């Protein structure tokens, strides 16, 4: 189980990283990781420009993990609707950013 917020990182077309804290990260049944775009700006631009991404998070008992992969940006469909239903209406809920996990690390150890 995840502890606290996660860090979601993308890169721009010049290779400069951009990181944001996210709270509503959700592991999907197929192993992808989804997060709602509520206030993304640079992150949204990076995803639309083809950026890969990573999530950095802690899981119990305070063990660090990093998941890396390609990102889909979904403004409709079942994944978006399911995630949208779990986010309070006071947030914009623009779209779901969904990471297809291609690599997983715990510290320096590659797990996938």
What is the reported pLDDT for 23?
A: 84
CB of 101 closer than 8 Å to CB of 29: no
Interval 42-62: pLDDT, tens:
999 999 999 999 999 998 888
Any idea which residue has 């063990």 for tokens?
A: 63
Rounded Cα–Cα distance for residues 101 and 85 (Å): 23
**From residue 25, how far is each of 14, 37, 98 by CA, in Å?**
27, 11, 10
Question: Is 6 strand, coil or helix?
Answer: strand
Q: What is the mean pLDDT of the chain?
A: 95
Q: Domain ranges for the chain, please list them.
A: 2-110
Q: Has residue 64 got a pLDDT over 90?
A: yes
CATH number of the 2-110 domain: 2.30.110.10
What is the reported pLDDT for 2?
A: 78
**Per-residue pLDDT band at 24 (split at 50, 70, 90):** confident
Cis peptide before 61 (omega within 30 of 0): yes
């Amino acid at each position: 189980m995840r502890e606290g917020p996660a860090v979601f990182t993308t890169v721009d077309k010049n290779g400069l990283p951009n990181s944001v804290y996210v709270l509503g990260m959700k592991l999907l049944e197929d192993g992808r990781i989804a997060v709602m775009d509520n206030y993304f700006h640079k992150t949204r631009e990076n995803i639309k420009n083809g950026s890969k991404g990573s999530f950095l998070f802690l899981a119990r008992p305070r063990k660090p993990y990093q998941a890396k992969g390609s990102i889909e940006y979904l403004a409709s469909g079942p994944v978006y609707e399911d995630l949208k239903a779990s986010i309070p209406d006071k947030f914009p809920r623009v779209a779901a950013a969904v990471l297809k996990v291609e690599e997983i690390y715990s510290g320096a150890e590659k797990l996938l």
